[in-house]
Amino acid sequence: MNEREETLQIFFVETEDLLKKSEESLLRLEATPGPGPDLEELFRAIHTLKSGCAMVGFNALSKYVHIIENLLDRIRNNQLSVTKPLISFLLEDVDFIRAMVDRCAAGEDIDPDTLNARKAQLNRFLGIEGVSGKEEATLEPVPDSVRNDSWHYYHIDLKFKKDLFNFGHDPLLLLLNLTELGECVEVVADTSELPGYKEMDFYELYISWRVILKTTASVQEVEDVFMFVMDENKIVIEEITDRYREGVDLQLGEMPLGEALIERGGITREDLESALDKQKKLGEILVDEGKIDKEAIQKVVSQQQESRFAYRKTSLRVDVEKIDHLVNLAEEIGIGLSRTQSLLAREDSLSRDEIEQEIETLLNVNREFQERVASVRMFSLKGTFRRFQRIVRDAAYDQKKEIKVILSGIDTELDKEVIEYIADPLKHLVRNCVDHGIELPEERVAAGKPAEGIIEFKAYQKGGKIFIQISDDGRGLDMEKIRHRALEMGLDKAGEKLDNDALMEIICCPGFSTSSSVTELSGRGVGMDAVKTQIERIGGSIQIETKKGKGSVFTLIIPLTFTLTEALHVRDQDISYLVPLWGIMGVERFDEGRMRTFGSDEKVYRFREDYIPLMSLYRIYGTIAPENDHTGTAAVFLNTGRQKFGILIDEVLASHQVVVKSIESNYQGIRGVGGATIMGDGSAAIVLDLLGLEEIFFKRLLPGGEV
């Protein structure tokens, strides 16, 4: 007998027992009609029967019994009197239910027509026996006191008119009625409208409420509580089940404080805007009061950033689904391992093929596992971009500028840590666009542009890197002014024609600013130099394009993640290196005939109809010089998207997915080194930073020097 059959067996025995009890109670009830112990016993029996039917899956029958239960409930409430016909009817019902249960026991389905016919009889019966002929008899099953429905959360805003009491309504009674639907998990009374004692009219209502209700009720049921006050008063009911969990509104964390206060603290948008108008930044206040100078603030702000960099947030909110998937994969790995073990333990015939096959499967599962683990850390840029939208809005309002924000690629995902690192630099760039990029509406119209400026945020992924662009259609960087300032500051590049790199170098120079105003303080005190440092810290770079009168484009190029990289394991001079796969064009056996040497050690190599510069890794990293003129046996050709170059190595091993650990917490950033990782055999390997290597090749920067 299986479990289902066992449950059914118990159910049939219990049902027969309950039906017998019902019959006895009915007969006693006939002798002493009306509410009392007999009715209670009958009610309990029928109620138990209903639950039983539902439990074994006889839902149609359960619903039918439910109607009888309601009928009995009416007798209990003196809404229906016990008569002889009623008793006979209910006795008939007992036989009917018994017959239906027998059918179910025999594995037959209940004929819906039979059931409906009986239901109609029940209804008709009640129509006659109802409390009053005028009222329609209702036998719709009323909701059970506890339903199996899931919890709903509602955000309810109650802003009543001051004269609510005059209409005989009591807000406390309304709140009380609300608690009868469920639990008010949060109640906030807004007393800000409350006047002083002398001005107060005690017959008026000054308080408004905000309630989070946890209930199984529908929106309609919640609205019904306010049915008489809905029209005249400001009652807003919003279902927030999707974003409310265990007392935490998930959306709240994503909002700036002002927005959250509007949502939950009961202030209006006008309140917020007038407060923002009055608000001065802490730095400005302190400088105005002469308590501190601007440089000192800058210093502390950058120290703060150092500190934030060091103590990043260590917790992560992850979808349960993602975790479940990981658990499954972990189990699969466990199963694979034990299968392999048992294969090895088999003494008779050790099949190499079978073991290899198992290992192959394991490797696949493991790869997926690693990908999934990495994806746990991935978050979309949505929240960040949305915040910028707000920053632009506020800053534009402050400066009386008209700016439209366009967002694209907001679903692009980035490592959570990376998002945290780039948030402040991005914010600075955004403020720059508003403060310095977009002109005042008058200026724009005079220049033949629409009065409304445009700032566009765009994110996309290309070749293992994430590109985040912030562009504006403003006045562009003033090259003359920049050149002028550069000369003033004695920056040696000032005389030359400015290309992107030189431009970057100048505007990212600590202390460089073309603006005479002190808007720097209005940001977080992060100068362009800090922006550049921060971005480079996570292996990223910044590009600037600008055209006078047309606008500027700032592009941040940042690594997708620091966690997982697909890389080629190579060895040179017994040192393991990992070359990120995204930059590899090809790998070839070294052929000395295709190499040309210029000067003392400039080498080019012919690769696919192209001569590209070549260098030995040991020269780049200054590791031990090999005995005699060692040149390596293989060459790896790389393309960073901007430049092509090759490196010479001794040995090419396998391609791996590696977890890159930053080594910067112990050492300062080293140009050309992206990080380190531990290989499967326990040895350490250096992960190459291709963009850094490119700088070494083409800018003749000091190999291995500090960034």
Partner 1 sequence: MEKLIMVVDDSPTFLSSVSFCLRNAGYKVTEAKDGKDALEKLSNMKKEGQIPSLVVTDINMPRMDGIAFIKKVKKGNFRFLPILVLTTESEKSMIEKGKAAGASGWLVKPFRPEKFLWVIKKLVWTDERT
Q: Which positions lie near partner 1, rule CB under 8 A?
A: 77-79, 131-132, 134-136, 138, 142, 165-170, 173-174, 176-177, 203, 225, 227-228, 231-232
The nearer residue to partner 1, 181 or 395, going by C-beta atoms, is 181
Q: Closest Cα partner for 209 from 254, 178, 249?
A: 178
Helices 294-310 and 528-537 cross at an angle (nearest 10°) of 10
Please state the closest distance from residue 133 (CB atom) to partner 1, in A: 9
Phi and psi for 270 in degrees, rounded to 5? -65, -40
Please state the closest distance from residue 227 (CB atom) to partner 1, in A: 7
The nearer residue to partner 1, 164 or 262, going by C-beta atoms, is 164
The nearer residue to partner 1, 140 or 288, going by C-beta atoms, is 140
CA–CA separation, 54 vs 52, rounded Å? 5
Q: Closest Cα partner for 381 from 413, 425, 423?
A: 413
Q: Would you tell me how many other CB atoms lie within 10 Å of the CB of residue 313? A: 9
284: three-class secondary structure by DSSP: helix
Residue owning tokens 């840029």: 381
The nearer residue to partner 1, 79 or 631, going by C-beta atoms, is 79
The nearer residue to partner 1, 59 or 81, going by C-beta atoms, is 81
Residue owning tokens 């990120």: 580
Phi and psi for 515 in degrees, rounded to 5? -90, 135
Q: Closest Cα partner for 690 from 643, 657, 655, 653?
A: 643
150 neighbors 218 (Cβ within 8 angstroms): no
Please state the closest distance from residue 199 (CB atom) to partner 1, in A: 20
CA 463 → CA 80, 466, 482, 580, distances in Å?
A: 77, 8, 33, 11
* Tokens read off for 39: 């009715």
The nearer residue to partner 1, 140 or 629, going by C-beta atoms, is 140
Q: What's at 17, amino acid-wise?
A: D
CA–CA separation, 579 vs 655, rounded Å? 9
The nearer residue to partner 1, 181 or 685, going by C-beta atoms, is 181
Q: How many CA atoms lie within 13 A of 322 on its CB side?
A: 14
Please state the closest distance from residue 174 (CB atom) to partner 1, in A: 8
Looking at residue 261, the DSSP 8-state letter turns out to be I
Please state the closest distance from residue 170 (CB atom) to partner 1, in A: 7
Pairing of strands 551-559, 465-472: antiparallel
The nearer residue to partner 1, 182 or 540, going by C-beta atoms, is 182
- The conformational region for residue 609 under phi > 0 = left, psi -120 to 50 = alpha, else beta, is left
Give CB contacts under 8 A, 24+ apart, made by 17-23. 18/45, 18/46, 18/48, 18/49, 18/52, 19/45, 19/49, 19/94, 19/97, 19/98, 21/45, 22/46, 22/49, 22/90, 22/94, 23/91, 23/94
The nearer residue to partner 1, 226 or 554, going by C-beta atoms, is 226
Please state the closest distance from residue 118 (CB atom) to partner 1, in A: 23
Please state the closest distance from residue 221 (CB atom) to partner 1, in A: 11
Please state the closest distance from residue 78 (CB atom) to partner 1, in A: 5
The nearer residue to partner 1, 176 or 363, going by C-beta atoms, is 176
249 neighbors 259 (Cβ within 8 angstroms): no
The nearer residue to partner 1, 231 or 706, going by C-beta atoms, is 231
Q: What's at 459, amino acid-wise?
A: A
Please state the closest distance from residue 176 (CB atom) to partner 1, in A: 6
Please state the closest distance from residue 180 (CB atom) to partner 1, in A: 9
Q: Please tell me the total number of residues recorded for the chain in this structure.
A: 707
Please state the closest distance from residue 202 (CB atom) to partner 1, in A: 11
Please state the closest distance from residue 209 (CB atom) to partner 1, in A: 17
